[in-house]
Structure 1
Amino acid sequence: MLFIILNALFCIAFAGFAYVNLNDRDSFLWVPIYLIASIACGLAMFEMYFPVFYLVVISFYLGYAIKLFFEKDGVLDWITKYKQESIVQSMQATKPHIEKAREFFGLLIISAALAINYFIAI
């Protein structure tokens, strides 16, 4: 029952994240990222698990997270150069490190949700 509730929360949250990304300049990337996670969690609510799919998607998401970590004004710069400036403030074009840090943590959250379902499925 706990996993059904957890997947329901993830499904709704990821669908909401996809919605708020519709007006973003890189919506072509982030809307599908969040929708895939939302659908996967929605199916898991009905005990429909796809472990191989989870591994493929998690690999893509973690690979992209690594890219965001090391690129210019990425997460590593946010930690070292910008001294972990708050990522809950408003996004400004002059602070791309904030958006990249948010995207990085979003990918980690999605990966964790799908990893939970992977381990339930196997």
Structure 2
Amino acid sequence: MLLSILNSIFCIAFILFAYVNLNDSDSWLWVPIYMIASVCCGLAVFNYFYPLVYLISISFYLIYALYLFFAKDGVRDWIVRYKRPTLVESMQATKPYIEKAREFFGLLIISGALAINYFIAIN
């Protein structure tokens, strides 16, 4: 029951995240990223689990997160060079590190949600 509620919340949240990315210049990348996670979580609500899809998706998301961590003005620069200023002052990414850091944490959230479903599926 708790897993169904959690997956429902993730499913709806990922649909909303995809929606707000529709007007971005890189929507071709981020809408599918969020929609794949949304579909996976939505199917899990009805006890349909796809461990191989989770592993492939998580692998892609974590590799991309690693890239965003070390990229110029990425998460590493946000921590070391910019001294971790807030990422949530406004919805506009006014500083060069904001978008990459937000994307990085989004990928970690997606990976966590899919990892939960993966471990449920294999047990």
**Fold-level similarity (TM above 0.5):** yes
* TM-score, scaled relative to structure 2: 0.96
Q: What is the match of residue 26 of structure 2?
A: 26
Between the two proteins, what is the percent identity of the paired residues?
69
* TM-score, scaled relative to structure 1: 0.97
**Where has structure 1 moved over 3 Å in runs of 4 or more?**
none
Per-residue CA deviation, residues 64-113 of structure 1 (Å, 9 max, x unaligned), is: 000000010000000001111101022245x1201100000000000000
Q: Are the structure 2 counterparts of residues 96 and 6 from structure 1 closer, same or farther at C-alpha, using a change threshold of 3 Å?
A: same
Q: CA RMSD in A?
A: 0.7
Q: What is the match of residue 110 of structure 2?
A: 110
Listed as ranges, the gaps of 5+ residues in structure 2 are none
Q: Does residue 121 of structure 1 match 2:112?
A: no
Q: Does residue 48 of structure 1 match 2:48?
A: yes
Q: 2 CA distance for matches of 1:41 and 1:68?
A: 24
Q: 1 CA distance for matches of 2:63 and 2:96?
A: 19
Listed as ranges, the gaps of 5+ residues in structure 1 are none
Q: What is the match of residue 13 of structure 2?
A: 13
Q: 2 CA distance for matches of 1:57 and 1:105?
A: 15
Q: 2 CA distance for matches of 1:92 and 1:67?
A: 19
